[in-house]
Structure 1
Amino acid sequence: MHSIAPYSLRCFNPYSDPKKGEDRYAVLDKIGQFDMYQLFKAFIEAQGDKFKIVEATQQVYRFHGMKFYDEKREMVGWFEAGYYGVKNNIIDIETGNVDFEKLQTNAEIIRHYVRFYIPNGFDEGVALLHNYKGGGIKTLLHDLLREHFNKVTKRTFQMNPLAYKKAFKVWEEAVTKEIKLTKFMGMPDITDQLTRLGHKEQQLIVKPPNRGKLGKLKDFFKPGTEEYEVVEFLRPHCAQIKAVAELDGKKRTFTIGRPAEEQICEIIVDEDEVVMVAGNPEPVSLHKWCTSLLQEFVGYIYPGLKVKI
């Protein structure tokens, strides 16, 4: 499964004094004598096309096909990364035969779409990072950018998950399409419990019965509702419970079992809008789809300012 995770980009000044009216967060194009957009652009361009090794975590990475749009202050492309250090076999799932023996010095490389929007005049930007089957590159990418940024500016670069606190208000009335149970540990009476919501599929995805519904998204966060009670029952038996909601033809995934104000957004790639080629999202359609996502988040972060991507 492919998904996009949004993050906020900020610069924290540990030396600022709020008592003197000094802002704790700097405007992104006025970090002392530095500009976050130009600083990261120069850093990425200096990386070149060759893979680099991070021995501490046994990872390899490179930036690939990065494009810079100075007028829009956007940078877009691919961050390719993988792990090495384990010897194992790569098999053909149709025949069961070993096609390739992966050595300790081999690394499987995954291409991750990355997109940064670092506007003038604001103290917060947005990053969209591509995940595959729950795996992403946020930690590695953040560590690389933070080390360079902190060294140059002497301030702290922050890349935090973009909470869905404001956006959740928009999605409260959305219809819940399915419930996903991650690392579910079964119990004898699970069938009886799940029939209160719908039927259970092999992938441990709960969907509504024919002509039925799972309720509105807000019902899963409201104590006293039937939906909330079912979540309370399931929570000890799952590593994670997620609800997929749909609103105006768009889908969003929310982790339920935590307060709505603590929600972190994960957007599953919509295969009706993004072309998939050999299991990977096709770049042009993915970029177009992510443009609409970025515009959505920019609207939440800069309300009333009509910022256009």
Structure 2
Amino acid sequence: MAKTYEQEQHALTPYCFRVYNKSLDGDRDKRYSKLNQISGKFDLLEMLETFMMAHSKEYEIAEETQQVYCFSDIKVDAANREVWGWFNVGVYGMKTDIINIKTQKVDFEKAKDNAEIIKHYVHFRIPLNVDEGMAFLHTYRGNGIKTLFHDLFGEYFKQQANLVLQMNPLAYDNAINAWLDAPAKEIKLTKFVGVDDVADKLNKLGHHEQELIIKPPRKGNLGRLRDYFNKDNAHHEAVVELIGFGNQVKTVVEMNGKKRTFNVGNNTSNAMCEIELDENVVMDEGVPDFNSMNRWVGQIADEYVQTMY
């Protein structure tokens, strides 16, 4: 089953939670708190649940960034130490027209104080007695909610524990290492700028975003995923060249019958951290189905667990 355009607009970005506590004994690496025993009394999982529930009653305003936000459908699995739900976020501050694409007429005039709400799936797994927890945040068309979430929850965490919560992208080399040796099946370049007359013909088909797909020659291959992050490798050089023709380069890899699509753009330090939605995630009016998303993210989290702990 091939992925749809709707599915390709959504991705998952994994992050790592850590809490540095200089009051702990030992060298620097030993001063990271176990996340269920922060300062001997705080459990990060419980703090996440409490925070999300406290901000699920009504929409609140982040005036500095002109955003509104509210959590909903919060679920907790205490046995597996997980909490997940929707983080509903919108942006206000600009008057716009909302048109009906079929009639070309304005259906609604969005005022400056109106905000279009996007549902972002968030999922946190905090295993017992470890100093690294996992956060999986949903992005739509490259737009995510990490900054807003970290600003809000980080401030709450600091007020409660008097410590700073670190939230950094999970590095590919210590999180999903197995995928690095998986063979690349396709290279996808979105917003490819081709010959003008070809591009014009494509635009007449009704969509302004084109995609170039590169597949391996009959007796050749596209290398391993690892090759695209090695600056001395020809595959990495090819990605650098392709960036000049579009704004996003993805590689599709396969292992044990499963496929993953990773963003391998020009920011190679974070490129592995964006995982495109699986074709098995069901879509509902352009939004990932909640239960379907939960099952897929659970599989991703399991892969991280096998290599992180």
TM-score, normalized by length of structure 2? 0.82
Percent of aligned pairs with the same residue? 41
Query: Post-superposition shift, 1:266?
Result: 1.6
> In the alignment, is residue 26 of structure 1 matched against residue 33 of structure 2?
yes
Q: CA RMSD in A?
A: 2.8
Distance 1:289 1:243 in 2: 19
| Number of the residue aligned with 1:121 | 129
Q: 1:23 is paired with a residue of what secondary structure?
A: helix
| Number of the residue aligned with 1:178 | 186
Question: Is this contact kept in 2: 1:178–1:205, CA < 8 A?
Answer: no
How has the CA–CA distance of structure 1 residues 256 and 47 changed in structure 2, closer, same or farther, with 3 Å as cutoff? closer
Question: Is this contact kept in 2: 1:10–1:25, CA < 8 A?
Answer: yes
Instruction: Give the 5 Å matches for 1:94-105.
Output: 94-105=102-113
Unaligned runs of 5+ in 1: 189-200, 303-309
Query: Post-superposition shift, 1:15?
Result: 4.4
Match of 1:3 among 1, 11, 16: 11
How has the CA–CA distance of structure 1 residues 148 and 223 changed in structure 2, closer, same or farther, with 3 Å as cutoff? closer
Question: Is this contact kept in 1: 2:227–2:235, CA < 8 A?
Answer: yes
Question: Is this contact kept in 1: 2:191–2:209, CA < 8 A?
Answer: no
Q: State the one-letter code of the partner of 2:108.
A: F
Q: 1:127-186 CA distances to partner (integer Å, 9 max, x unpaired)?
A: 111111111111111111100001111111111111111355422332323334456666
> In the alignment, is residue 293 of structure 1 matched against residue 285 of structure 2?
no
Distance 2:129 2:158 in 1: 21
Unaligned runs of 5+ in 2: 1-8, 197-207
Distance 2:63 2:150 in 1: 16
| Number of the residue aligned with 2:62 | 54
Distance 1:242 1:110 in 2: 24
Q: Which protein has greater RCO, CA pairs closer than 8 Å, 6+ apart?
A: 2
Match of 1:37 among 39, 42, 45: 45
Question: Is this contact kept in 1: 2:99–2:106, CA < 8 A?
Answer: yes
| Number of the residue aligned with 2:174 | 166
Q: State the one-letter code of the partner of 1:45.
A: M
Distance 1:168 1:37 in 2: 23
Query: Post-superposition shift, 1:106?
Result: 0.4
Distance 1:131 1:7 in 2: 13
Instruction: Give the 5 Å matches for 1:243-282.
Output: 243-248=251-256, 249-257=258-266, 263-271=271-279, 273-282=280-289
| Number of the residue aligned with 1:78 | 86
Instruction: Give the 5 Å matches for 1:75-224.
Output: 75-167=83-175, 169-181=177-189, 203-208=210-215, 211=218, 215-216=222-223, 217-222=225-230
